[in-house]
Amino acid sequence: MTAVVPPDPIPGARLLFSLDPAVSHLNHGSFGAVPIGVQRVQQRLRDEMEANPLRFLSQGLTERVAHARRHLATFLGADPDGTALVGNTTTGVAVVLASLGLRPGDEVVSTDHGYGAVAMSIARQCRRTGADSRVLPVPLAATDTEVVETVRAGLRPGRTRLLVVDHLTSATARLFPVAAIVEAAHRQGVPVLVDGAHVPGMLPVAVADVGADFWVGNLHKWGYAPRGTAVLVVAERWRERIEPLVVSWEQESGFPARVEWQATLDYTPWLAAPAGLFTLRSLGVDRVRAHNAALAAYGQRVVGEALGVPPTALPDHRGPAVAMRVVPLPTGVAGTFDAARALRLRIAERLATEVAVTAWNGRGWLRLCGQVYNHAEEYQRLAVSLPALLDQR
């Protein structure tokens, strides 16, 4: 059995964040954590806006947003002209779904690893248009080849108007072979939307090389940007068809400005987002990725052992830089959405530890993240305390 050793801490990294030191924050993947320096950049922008709102919002703002967009798109290996800033990944998905012109007889296909809010967005748009939603089950232990074949076999050319697939899944922390999936779907004439919510900052990516028709991802998780910062990347042939959810004054400017401009929206998260990437680069992008992935793997192993899960039964996430790991909970624990939420709140209240608990395919899963502000001792404390808490149910 191969021992999993925690990485050496990155000196000073914990001091970059204003997180409550009395709490173990092991769930960076849900809402991220904004470094203090980035908070200050955003506050200066807010101060500028409040000093003269009319000037801030009407003189040069679109150019400033475009500059931030170019910076973020370049980091992600995406075409800046085909990239729009949006509030979050779910918003980007909703924009795409609303722009497709779905009709009765059409279908949107996704997998059972999809994010809950995205699944609800698909269901709502299908109800509105008379289209159908179909979910493909993909076993967690499936190989990359099996994943691609499962998805390929589930498409129906001529009827499947969109395939929605995760780059890195939220519920199961599984890295999908998205480039191969896109290639297989395109051979059947099916466009693809890739949900890359957790990718920016965590994983090395060149969005253009993925080849998806649409790719969405959050910068406010692993990219250290203020919350409310995400990108929607659209292939050139689709850009003129993309419509915002709300029409505003940049409507005639085309994509991406027509999607970005929402009048009195707070644009300071987008303008401050490059400071998040500056923080990441200052720490060392590769160094942070290696640290976070190793720490998540360590946490998965020690918590899994405490719950009696053999290392061979811990899911393989198929990516050396994946900084989220899941541990299966005992049978009957947190098998529903409500039960998972209740358990997460109990862990937060009684163990002073923030984790994610998900219910996937009728089973509860504990999701742990690794971030530069975490230390091995936090996972060790959780491993000691969690079994007794679960026994109290």
CATH number at 144 reads 3.40.640.10
Residues 265 and 330 in one domain: no
Number of folded domains that form the chain: 2
Q: How far is the C-alpha of 44 from the C-alpha of 52, rounded, in Å? A: 13
User: Residue 2: pLDDT above 70?
Assistant: no
Query: Each residue of 166-186: pLDDT tens digit?
Result: 999 999 999 999 999 999 999
Residues 167 and 141 in one domain: yes
Lowest mean per-residue pLDDT among 310-324, 331-345, 356-370: 310-324
Q: Examine residue 3 and state whether it is found in any structural domain, yes or no.
A: no
- pLDDT for res 17: 98
* Radius of gyration of the CA atoms of the chain, in A: 21
Residues 377 and 261 in one domain: no
Mean predicted lDDT score pLDDT of the chain: 96
pLDDT mean over 188-192? 98
Q: How far is the C-alpha of 356 from the C-alpha of 326, rounded, in Å? A: 9
Reported as a pLDDT band with limits 50, 70 and 90, residue 318 is confident
Cα 1 to Cα 65, 173, 301, 310, 383, distances in angstroms: 51, 23, 12, 10, 19
Q: Examine residue 73 and state whether it is found in any structural domain, yes or no.
A: yes
Residues 136 and 255 in one domain: yes
User: Residue 223: pLDDT above 80?
Assistant: yes
Cα 151 to Cα 161, 182, 221, distances in angstroms: 14, 10, 28
Residues 272 and 292 in one domain: no
Q: Examine residue 42 and state whether it is found in any structural domain, yes or no.
A: yes
Residues 105 and 175 in one domain: yes
Residues 80 and 56 in one domain: yes
Reported as a pLDDT band with limits 50, 70 and 90, residue 319 is confident
Reported as a pLDDT band with limits 50, 70 and 90, residue 393 is low
What global pTM score does this model have? 0.96
Per the CB < 8 A criterion, the answer to whether 363 and 329 are in contact is yes
Range(s) of the domain holding residue 355: 13-31+285-391
Residues 197 and 301 in one domain: no
Identity of the residue numbered 254: G
Return the structure tokens found at 144: 């990359």
Q: How far is the C-alpha of 196 from the C-alpha of 232, rounded, in Å? A: 10
pLDDT mean over 311-329? 92
User: Residue 1: pLDDT above 70?
Assistant: no
Q: Examine residue 348 and state whether it is found in any structural domain, yes or no.
A: yes
Q: Examine residue 4 and state whether it is found in any structural domain, yes or no.
A: no
Residues 99 and 219 in one domain: yes
Q: What element of type H or E holds 165?
A: strand 160-166
Q: Examine residue 387 and state whether it is found in any structural domain, yes or no.
A: yes
User: Residue 87: pLDDT above 80?
Assistant: yes
Residues 150 and 87 in one domain: yes
Residues 140 and 232 in one domain: yes
Q: Examine residue 274 and state whether it is found in any structural domain, yes or no.
A: yes
Return the structure tokens found at 390: 């679960």
- Domain's final residue, options 244, 278, 312: 278
Residues 331 and 216 in one domain: no
Q: Examine residue 5 and state whether it is found in any structural domain, yes or no.
A: no
Reported as a pLDDT band with limits 50, 70 and 90, residue 29 is very high
